[in-house]
Amino acid sequence: MQKVFRQFYEQPTIEVARQLLGKYLVRKHREGTTVGRIVETEAYVGPQDLACHASKGWTRRTEVMFGPPGHAYVYLIYGFYNMLNFVTEPVDHPAAVLVRAVEPVQGIELMRRRRNSQSLKSLASGPGKLCQAFAIDRSLNGTDLCGSVICIQDRGEPAPKLLATPRIGVDYAGKWKGKRLRFLVRGNGFVSRA
């Protein structure tokens, strides 16, 4: 039950994305604490990565990615859904890991209420769903992951078996669209898609 330190996030983005699988996302909120086991992530590795928002250069939106590692990058997509990312690598290397799915562990009733859904599998099996279940929105952009609002716990379980696939929804990214930068826990039923 060890909180992950900042130096974990400073590693190469792909390493962070892989090592996050099997760790626990902890979100503290006045309504209660929600916890999920991370089962799916995607790496957005830097300015040369055409699928990474930072490939467009520094903007107010991507500012957080240019800062120090171990902070949350949260943005709104399609006018509806928030996406939760963790900033990785040293200052001035803009990169992040998108957290795409978790297996609900604690605060399940709270998640059901927020998601208006009974099915355990649909509570956080996708980046938008996850943010809804964990009450994460743009107001949390820039949150320090070494604080108490959002953090990652290593509960000491051995690294799960992985599967690497192309990332979802980045068809516009040219030669980067086919790169296998999406990582899932093999055989886990809580991923957004097999």
The site for DNA (CB under 7 A) is made up of: 42, 44, 51-53, 56, 59-62, 73, 75-81, 83, 85, 96, 98, 115, 117, 122, 126-130, 138, 167-170, 172, 192
Judged by beta carbon, residue 7 or residue 118, the one nearer DNA is 118
Amino acid at 54: A
Taking phi over 0 as left and psi of -120 to 50 as alpha, with beta for the rest, 79 belongs to left
Judged by beta carbon, residue 3 or residue 63, the one nearer DNA is 63
Judged by beta carbon, residue 45 or residue 151, the one nearer DNA is 45
Query: Residue 72: beta bridge partners?
Result: 86
Long-range CB pairs of 114-121, under 8 A, 24+ apart, other chains included: 121/189, 121/190
Judged by beta carbon, residue 35 or residue 64, the one nearer DNA is 64
Give the shortest CB-173-to-DNA separation in angstroms. 8
Give the shortest CB-2-to-DNA separation in angstroms. 26
Give the shortest CB-102-to-DNA separation in angstroms. 11
Handedness of CA 89, 92, 27, 41 (dihedral sign): negative
Largest alpha-carbon pair distance within the chain? 44
